[in-house]
């Protein structure tokens, strides 16, 4: 296929393949997966620990810490804290490391479309 007369629709898949194989996109994918995969494993294990302790470590969960506040309640409240903290960390990370790269790649793709768009 000649490069100066590409039908926009025909060139679209190749363009996406080219973008997908670019180093810049690989970096974006790495940045995203490098954060969300380990974080998902971490919060899932932390939550699973809570559920498993609720099922099998009743004595430990029932230990009173102060007044009528026991380990089970504190453990449950810590799940709230960890959820809020992870959400905040992700939002900060995405603002800094994901959005700028995604915007740049999107704009590059947009320019290509724009060049060919009027002709098609």
Partner 1 sequence: MSMVLAAEAGDTTARNLTITLFLVFVAVTLAITIWASRQTKTATDFYAGGRSFSGFQNGMAIGGDYMSAASFLGIAGIIALYGYDGFLYSIGFLVAWLVALLLVAELLRNSGRYTMADVLAFRMRQRPVRTAAAVSTITVSIFYLLAQMVGAGALVALLLGIRPGTTFLGMDADAAKIATIIMVGALMIIYVTVGGMKGTTYVQIVKAFLLMGGALVMTLLVLAKYKFNLSSLLGDAASSSGKGSAFLEPGLRYGVEVAGNATQTFYHKMDLLSLGIALVLGTAGLPHILIRFYTVPTARAARKSVLWAIGIIGTFYLLTLALGFGAAALVGSEAITAQDRAGNTAAPQLAEALGIDFLGGDLGGATLLAIIAAVAFATILAVVAGLTLASSSSLAHDFYANVIKNGAASERREVAVARISALVIGAVAIALSIFAQNLNVAFLVALAFAVAASGNLPAILYSLFWKRFNTSGAVWAIYGGLLSAVLLVFFSPVVSGAPTAMFPEQDWQWFPLSNPGILSIPFGFLCGWIGTIISKERDEEKYAELEVRSLTGAGAH
Determine the Cα–Cα distance for residues 62 and 49; give it in Å rounded to an integer.
15
Minimum CB–partner distance for residue 70 and partner 1 (Å): 6
Q: According to DSSP H, which parts of the chain are helical?
A: 8-21, 23-56, 58-61, 71-93, 99-116
- The binding track of 101-120 with respect to partner 1, each residue x by CB under 8 A or -, is -xx-xx--xx----------
CB neighbours (10 Å) of residue 28? 19
7 binding partner 1? (CB under 8 A): no
28 binding partner 1? (CB under 8 A): yes
Query: For residues 39-98, which are near partner 1 according to CB under 8 A?
Result: 39-40, 43-44, 47-48, 50-52, 54-56, 58, 61-62, 64, 66-70, 72-73, 76-77, 79-80, 83-84, 86-88, 90-91, 94
Minimum CB–partner distance for residue 3 and partner 1 (Å): 18
Strand partners, 117: none
Strand partners, 69: 66
């Amino acid at each position: 296929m000649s490069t100066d007369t590409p039908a926009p629709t025909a060139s679209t898949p190749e363009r996406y393949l080219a973008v997908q194989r670019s180093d810049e996109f690989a970096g974006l994918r790495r940045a995203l997966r490098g954060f969300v995969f380990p974080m998902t494993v971490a919060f899932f294990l932390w939550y699973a620990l809570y559920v498993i302790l609720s099922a099998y470590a009743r004595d430990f969960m029932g230990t009173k810490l102060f007044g009528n506040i026991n380990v089970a309640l504190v453990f449950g409240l810590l799940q709230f804290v960890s959820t809020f903290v992870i959400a905040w960390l992700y939002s900060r990370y995405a603002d800094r490391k994901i959005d700028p790269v995604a915007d740049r790649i999107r704009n590059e793709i947009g320019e290509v479309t724009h060049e060919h768009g009027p002709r098609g």
